[in-house]
Each structure stands twice: as structure tokens, then as C-alpha cells.
């Protein structure tokens, strides 16, 4: 699977909640040892955003403000990946979101090795322009409650 930024996904993912789910998937990939190809430390951004969202929710459950802050953060994430130096702060942000909204990002399991192989086979079929095989593999993934979004950097899977 290729490196994918949120900016790459925004054209394919209209729902911001789905976009956050994709971000959590990327976080699990990084946690599992996936390569990170950028050097930057914006960990202060994640800590600041987590604090702001938490403060809004503690202010008489001002969830509209908290969701607006989450949307603003999503806009910032459209142009960046989480680097290794930011991982701890990003994970903290996800834990804050989990506890506030009950989203359980960090508790979601990765897909199986076999499912990853189906995604890879489907991408190869697409690269070979074998649309019938690609569609068949997409349907097999759908039967396993997985969807696939195609981006310029490769496929992104999501749970259906």
C-alpha cells in the first residue's frame, strides 16, 4: 500500500467522519511499523488541538465548538502526514477523541493478511487494466465488509 495523505483522499471521501476513520487507519499502519517518509515535528499542533477540543467539551458540553475544532484540524491534516516525532501526540489526540465521542479508533483491528493480499491483487488487476478481475476482487472484499477507495497513491481500504 502506498503512502497516502488526507489531501489525496479528500476528493474520494466526502464524509469527514470517514476521513477521520482513514486517518486512524494510517495511525495504526504507522504504529505497526509502516514507513514514514517525512521529517517534521508538529506534535505541538496535536497537543494543542486535543486540549482545545477537550476544553470545549468540558465547557457545558459545547460539542458544536468541539466538532468545529475537529473539522479545522481535519483541514490541517489534509496537507500533512503524521511523522515519527509526532506519533505520540497524534495517538494522544486519537485517545481524546475516543474518550469524548466513543469512536474507538485505536481499538479497531487491522485487516487480515489475506484481505491485504486481495487489496494488492485488486490493485495489480487495475494496473493491468483487467477490470473484470478488479471488480470480482472488489466484490470479494465487499462480501468481507471492506470497501476500497482508489487514489493516485494506491488503494485505501475501509470497513463497510
pLDDT per residue rounded down to tens, the chain (160 residues): 344 454 555 556 666 676 677 667 766 766 676 655 444 455 677 788 888 888 887 777 777 888 888 788 776 765 566 677 777 888 888 887 777 777 776 777 889 999 999 999 999 999 999 999 999 999 999 999 999 988 766 788 888 8
Shared-domain flag, residues 28 and 61: yes
Do residue 95 and residue 148 come from a single domain? no
Print the domain residue range for 131.
Answer: 113-159
Here the contacts of 83-87 (C-beta below 8 Å, separation 24 or greater) are 83/36, 83/38, 83/39, 83/40, 83/41, 83/42, 84/30, 84/36, 85/39, 85/40, 85/41, 85/43, 86/40, 86/41, 86/42, 86/43, 86/45, 86/46, 87/27, 87/30, 87/31
Whether 103 and 131 map to the same domain: the answer is: no
Domain boundary among 89, 107, 125: 107
* Same domain membership, residue 77 and residue 34: yes
How many domains does one find in the chain? 2
**What's the pLDDT score for residue 39?**
47
The answer to whether position 55 is within a domain reads: yes
At residue 127, the pLDDT reads: 93
- The predicted pLDDT at position 80 comes to 61
pLDDT for the residue numbered 152: 64
73 and 26 in a single domain? The answer is yes
pLDDT reported for residue 43: 62
Question: Does a structural domain hold residue 1?
Answer: no
Q: Both 147 and 99 in a single domain? A: no
Q: Note whether 79 and 147 are same-domain residues.
A: no
Res 72: pLDDT: 80
Amino acid at each position: 500500500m502506498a503512502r497516502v495523505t488526507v489531501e489525496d483522499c479528500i476528493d474520494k471521501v466526502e464524509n469527514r467522519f470517514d476521513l477521520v476513520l482513514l486517518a486512524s487507519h494510517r495511525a495504526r499502519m504507522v504504529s505497526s511499523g509502516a514507513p514514514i517518509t517525512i521529517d517534521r515535528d508538529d506534535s505541538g499542533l496535536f497537543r494543542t488541538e486535543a486540549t482545545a477540543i477537550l476544553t470545549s467539551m468540558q465547557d457545558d458540553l459545547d460539542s458544536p465548538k468541539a466538532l468545529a475544532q475537529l473539522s479545522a484540524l481535519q483541514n490541517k491534516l489534509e496537507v500533512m502526514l503524521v511523522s515519527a516525532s509526532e506519533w505520540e501526540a497524534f495517538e494522544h489526540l486519537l485517545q481524546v477523541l475516543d474518550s469524548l465521542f466513543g469512536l474507538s479508533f485505536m481499538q479497531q483491528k487491522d485487516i487480515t493478511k489475506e484481505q491485504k493480499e486481495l487489496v494488492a491483487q485488486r490493485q495489480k488487476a487495475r494496473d493491468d487494466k483487467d477490470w473484470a478481475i478488479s471488480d470480482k476482487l472488489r466484490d470479494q472484499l465487499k462480501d468481507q465488509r471492506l470497501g476500497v477507495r482508489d487514489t493516485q497513491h494506491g488503494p485505501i481500504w475501509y470497513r463497510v
